[in-house]
Structure 1
Amino acid sequence: MKRIQLANYRATHFGYSVQGKVATITLNRPERKNPLTFDSYGELRDLFREMVYATDIKSVVFTGSGGNFCSGGDVHEIIGPLVQMDMPELLEFTRMTGDLVKAMRACPQTIVSAIDGVCTGAGAMIACASDMRVATARSKLAFLFVRVGLAGADMGACTLLPRLIGLSRAADLLYTGRVVGGEEAERFGFHNRLVEPDALLETATALARELADGPTFGHAMTKTMLWQEWNSGLGECIEAEAQAQAICMQTRDFERAYRAFAAKQKPVFEGN
């Protein structure tokens, strides 16, 4: 069986460090509120796939730098190119983003997200894919897909979010794209706990260390069973959402939203 060590892994598109049995992943584009790019999506997916074989990493902390978690896909580096793609390319992209979520759920390590500031779009889905979420009261959670003319179905949102906060609340967030503060998100049950900003990373790391020091084989089994014991498999749901999202990416509303954003205007959606 393949076995690897990831303590000395050198990341290219995000920060990566290891202390003991805990790896910390830090999105580090603070000037843009830590958006994802094609490259960072791919590298994150590949890293979590490798975690399956890691013998030295027992828990992961996922965070962002500069007072924000993640603002989602980079508008100019991802959304701009997407409006120029054809269907096969769009579906390749939506499947890749879903593969990141599947890799996070499939790896045996517990994942603790440390969330401050902006946590939106794909960043919100990374938080969903994590096992636990420690946040600040000033954090801002939003599933913004509808704001760019897309379905709320993205990266498994329509299966993961209802499992975390219930169908009615998930519908609220996915249909409206509204911003939810940290206290409301904790009340929903999305965040496990709230802490002060200066204690965020320390608290999340301590939690990850506690999990890493626990029965990690048992934790891995718990992680598997928490998501396996539902009627529909996550993979099937993500594939369905990948197809739905790729279709939405060919609508004029998606392009309208991008052009409005580039022009610093409010998009006007027409439903086509």
Structure 2
Amino acid sequence: MSLPHHLRSENEGGVVTLTLDRPERKNPLTFDSYAELVAIFRAAATDDAVRAFVVTGADGNFCSGGDVHEIIGPLLERDTKGLMRFTAMTGDLVKAMRACPQPIVAAVDGVAAGAGAIIAMASDIRLATPRARVAFLFNRVGLAGCDMGACAILPRLIGQGRASELLFTGRAMRAEEGERWGFFNRLVEGDVLAEAQALAAEIAAGPGFAHGMTKRMLAMEWAMGVEQAIEAEAVAQALCMTTQDFRRAYEAFAAKRIPVFQGD
């Protein structure tokens, strides 16, 4: 018997909104939803109809992490190889999010815990409501904080000391803390999903190839010195200058009109 569908996808003008949809349990992940998210982000690399993503959760919560009964329980029955397959799969989600060229905007309300916190962390931009709470609570279930890239990415967002506190204690980061520390780009008093979609639409209207290059360089330059980064950016920018969007921008400027980018 097939499992129920717990992920909704809607494409509006090139902005794909992915909604984790198990509100009665605060939108936990299942084995199937992990795999489906990985497949969506990987497929986006060659899908010109997708210009940006918004990731959110249904009905007042973002994501409570891995489902206790459908994931955590079955893991207790696996051997080492089986557990390695699972942890590799969860890591594949972050890899797929970082590798897809489209920017990803997270709209966070309520609970974002465990793998839910990781999905928010792995997004490119994060908006939240004042009631959002983000908890990397792996230690609360007897696990290390080094899950799905948390020890690599989180310190780059909020600093080593703050990341260490969250990963060692598992406590929830409050919304205002998250904004002050740089985890959230901003807090939204009203409809956070609508604001995230508006931001994603603004990004989607820009030069798609160039946005993909920006995202790639933001990731690659973590491991570069400044001189190497400048050289890499010179190559990246020269490639962008070969695009039709670069030509469209010039022609629009000369004609005193707003360019309409098409991503090629």
TM-score range, shorter chain: 0.7 to 0.9
Following superposition of structure 1 onto structure 2, how do residues 1-272 of structure 1 map, counting pairs within 5 Å? Answer: 12-196=5-189, 198-231=190-223
Does structure 1 conserve the Cα–Cα contact (< 8 Å) formed by 2:6 and 2:22? no
Q: Which has the larger radius of gyration?
A: 2
Give the TM-score, by structure 1 length.
0.80
Specify every segment of 5 or more residues in structure 1 that has no aligned partner in the other structure, as ranges: 1-10, 233-272
| C-alpha separation in 2, matches of 1:16 and 1:119 | 19
Instruction: Map Cα deviations across residues 163-208 of structure 1 (whole Å, 9 max, x no partner).
Output: 1111111101001000111111111100001002x42111000000
Counterpart position of 1:248: none
Amino acid aligned to 2:50? I
Secondary structure of 2:18's aligned partner: strand
| C-alpha separation in 2, matches of 1:146 and 1:83 | 17
Report 1 or 2 for greater relative contact order, CA contacts < 8 Å, sequence distance ≥ 6. 1
| C-alpha separation in 1, matches of 2:73 and 2:168 | 23
Displaced runs of 4 or more, over 6 A = none
Amino acid aligned to 1:218? A
1:12 Cα deviation after fit: 4.0
| C-alpha separation in 2, matches of 1:218 and 1:175 | 38
Give the TM-score, by structure 2 length.
0.82
Counterpart position of 2:248: none
Instruction: Map Cα deviations across residues 95-125 of structure 1 (whole Å, 9 max, x no partner).
Output: 0000000000000100000000000100010
Does structure 2 conserve the Cα–Cα contact (< 8 Å) formed by 1:13 and 1:43? no
Secondary structure of 2:222's aligned partner: coil
Does structure 1 conserve the Cα–Cα contact (< 8 Å) formed by 2:98 and 2:122? yes
Amino acid aligned to 1:77? E
